[in-house]
Amino acid sequence: MHDSRETFLRNAFVTGCPVKHSRSPLIHGHWLKTLGLEGSYTRQEVAPEDFAGFVSRLKSGKSGFVGGNVTLPHKERAFSLADQPDALSEELGAANTLWLEGGVLHATNTDGYGFLANLDAAASDWDRTERAVVLGAGGASRAILQAVRDRGVGEIHVVNRTFARAQELADRFGQKVHAHAMAALPEVMKGAGLFVNTTSLGMDGDEAPDFDFSPLAEGAVVTDIVYVPLITPILRQAVDQGFAVVDGLGMLLHQAAPGFEKWFGVRPAVDDALRQLILADMEKH
């Protein structure tokens, strides 16, 4: 039988509000071009009050889209409006990737995959540790806690300025995740092999407070999900104190790959050419 999927142009989107700063079109545009695929990936700015209508058009097949990415502030609604959210997005209560399959709208969240793939590529032994510290308990922290737990790290300590938010995540993600207030940081860092910043500290040239990474295990990896600047003040301090660091740009690149494969049928490569393309764009803005 003829595979009808091959006969029409596939179009995908990134939706958010605002969405004009999203670098996802650059990433997917690069893959479409280098793989020689026909298709498009465009920004769709959708206001919160219009999001349900956007999803319903998507489900009806009339929008012409095969799926897309979802960013702030729509990730929770994307999860709840999907017909078939997977287990990952269910636990997070948020989805960043939607795709249609046989008229059914599927949803997942690829942020945790992107986070792990970035660490695996840049510091392959990072997961030998039994202890990780995650600073911050906002939206970005969730997928990381889930992913680090699912990789099998025994103890994960989430530390946050507002303790109640850390506690809420510890309750959500189970016994391996422990909540702490900021004052506990030096104590919980003792012997940890991974330190992750998920807060906005040091973003866009802001100052970050001083961190003493010396309690971490020898050979520990420090990573930051902020990637502007690429070497954040937190990563700079870790380098100066002799620790291995992984910047956050790779997470953005890797989280995009599973969606591309769902919509366009080919698993794309996250390579240096792509990284250089995004770095060049960051120089311009």
Q: Which is nearer to ligand ATR, 155 or 168 (CB)?
A: 168
* Cα dihedral: 180, 182, 188, 194 (round 10): 100
Catalytic residue among 20, 33, 59, 75: 75
282 DSSP 8-state letter: H
The string over 173-198, giving b where at least 16 C-beta atoms fall within 10 Å of a residue's C-beta and e elsewhere, is beebbebbeeebbeebbeebbbbbbb
Instruction: Please select the residue that binds ligand ATR; options are 85, 112, 114, 136, rule is CB under 6 A.
Output: 136
Instruction: Please select the residue that binds ligand ATR; options are 140, 147, 153, 270, rule is CB under 6 A.
Output: 140
Query: DSSP 3-state assignment of 28?
Result: helix
Cβ-in-10-Å burial (0-12, 13-18, 19+) of 4 comes to: exposed
User: Is residue 241 at the binding interface for ligand ATR, with CB under 6 A as the rule?
Assistant: no
Q: Which is nearer to ligand ATR, 88 or 203 (CB)?
A: 203
- Give the residues across from 107 on adjacent strands: 85, 98
Smallest distance from the beta carbon of 158 to ligand ATR, in angstroms? 9
User: Is residue 137 at the binding interface for ligand ATR, with CB under 6 A as the rule?
Assistant: yes
Sheet holding 131-135, edge to edge: 177-181, 155-160, 131-135, 194-197, 221-224, 244-246
Q: Which residues contact 122 (CB under 8 A, 6 or more apart)?
A: 246, 250
User: Is residue 61 at the binding interface for ligand ATR, with CB under 6 A as the rule?
Assistant: no
Q: Which is nearer to ligand ATR, 248 or 268 (CB)?
A: 248
Q: Is 33 a catalytic site residue?
A: no
User: Is residue 200 at the binding interface for ligand ATR, with CB under 6 A as the rule?
Assistant: yes
Smallest distance from the beta carbon of 77 to ligand ATR, in angstroms? 15
Instruction: Please select the residue that binds ligand ATR; options are 139, 215, 229, 265, rule is CB under 6 A.
Output: 139
Joined tokens for residue 67: 């799926």
Q: Which is nearer to ligand ATR, 44 or 160 (CB)?
A: 160
User: Is residue 223 at the binding interface for ligand ATR, with CB under 6 A as the rule?
Assistant: no
User: Is residue 206 at the binding interface for ligand ATR, with CB under 6 A as the rule?
Assistant: no
**Contact predicate 66/11, CB 8 Å:** yes
Instruction: Please select the residue that binds ligand ATR; options are 201, 252, 256, 274, rule is CB under 6 A.
Output: 201
User: Is residue 138 at the binding interface for ligand ATR, with CB under 6 A as the rule?
Assistant: yes
Binding mask 141-170 for ligand ATR (x = CB under 6 A): x------------------xxx--x-----
Q: Which is nearer to ligand ATR, 58 or 145 (CB)?
A: 145
Joined tokens for residue 242: 């002799």
Residues annotated catalytic, as ranges = 75
| Residues in touch with ligand ATR (CB under 6 A) | 136-141, 160-162, 165, 198-201
